[in-house]
Amino acid sequence: MSQLRIHNFAVSLDGFGTGEGQSRETPFGHAGERLHEWLVGTRFFHAMSGEAGGTQGVDNAFAEQHEPGIGAEIMGANKFGPPGWQDDPDWKGWWGPNPPFHSPVFVLTHRPRPSVEMEGGTTFHFVDATPAEVLAQAQAAAGDGDVRLGGGATVIREFLAAGLVDYMHLAVVPIVLGRGVRVWDGQEALEDRFDIEAVSAPDGVTHLTFTRKNGSGR
């Protein structure tokens, strides 16, 4: 069975995966781009953007694990668009005509709409389903590949609570947001189900990896 993986999801020191006040102009609310500055500077991100350069080292090593072996993605409604995007029939995500996913993407929303095929192999499917149900759909679409859970924080909490996550990489960024959407709410004793490792980068980012323990599988 394919795995459900989380990669490169950034959180603040106080556990927020996004800031407060998301809009079209501010996808991460008052956090701005501060959660992702570590990623933007890497060679991986530069290559994804079609640019040369970028840093190597610890941050890049983790960033590069984002793509290999992925056959489909699941994301929440707030990752796909700002509040109210469901009322805009022309909204097709933040990423332009050629999104970076290049695979089927399942968007969880209480207001499904017809699928949208984009350039580069990305097709957005809009589903109203439980975590287990949408994971089954994504696994079928992924073929021999794994499924990436892209976030946001609310969706990650829901899939963790359902016991569906096999691997999770969180980049803990040395900023304090104070408000927004937290990852850890309701995740008491998560350490009982995962082997956890930490690697620190020179820029102050701590990369936490959570690997499901044997015997705690779904």
Coil, helix or strand at residue 58? helix
Q: Over the stretch 88-126, which tens digit does the pLDDT of each residue have?
A: 999 999 999 999 999 999 999 999 999 999 999 999 999
Residue 75, domain member (yes or no): no
Q: Which helix (H) or strand (E) holds 197?
A: strand 194-200
> How many angstroms separate the CA atoms of 43 and 159, rounded?
30
Q: What is the pLDDT of residue 215?
A: 64
Judge whether 118 and 88 are in contact, CB under 8 Å: no
Q: What are the φ/ψ torsions at residue 74 (nearest 5 degrees)?
A: -120, 135
Residue 113, domain member (yes or no): no
CATH number of residue 152's parent domain: 3.40.430.10
Total tally of structural domains belonging to the chain = 1
Residue 162, domain member (yes or no): yes
How far from each other are the two terminal CA atoms of the chain, in whole angstroms? 10
Report how far Cα 123 is from the mean position of its chain's Cα atoms.
17
Nearest alpha carbon to residue 127 among 141, 109, 154: 109
Question: Residue 66 belongs to what domain range?
Answer: 4-70+132-212
> How many angstroms separate the CA atoms of 160 and 75, rounded?
14
How do the pLDDT tens digits run along the chain, 218 residues long? 799 999 999 999 999 999 999 999 999 999 999 999 999 999 999 998 889 999 999 999 999 999 999 999 999 999 999 999 999 999 999 999 999 999 999 999 999 999 999 999 999 999 999 999 999 999 999 999 999 999 999 999 999 999 999 999 999 999 999 999 999 999 999 999 999 999 999 999 999 999 999 866 66
pTM strictly above 0.85 = yes
Q: What is the pLDDT of residue 50?
A: 87
> How many angstroms separate the CA atoms of 169 and 159, rounded?
14
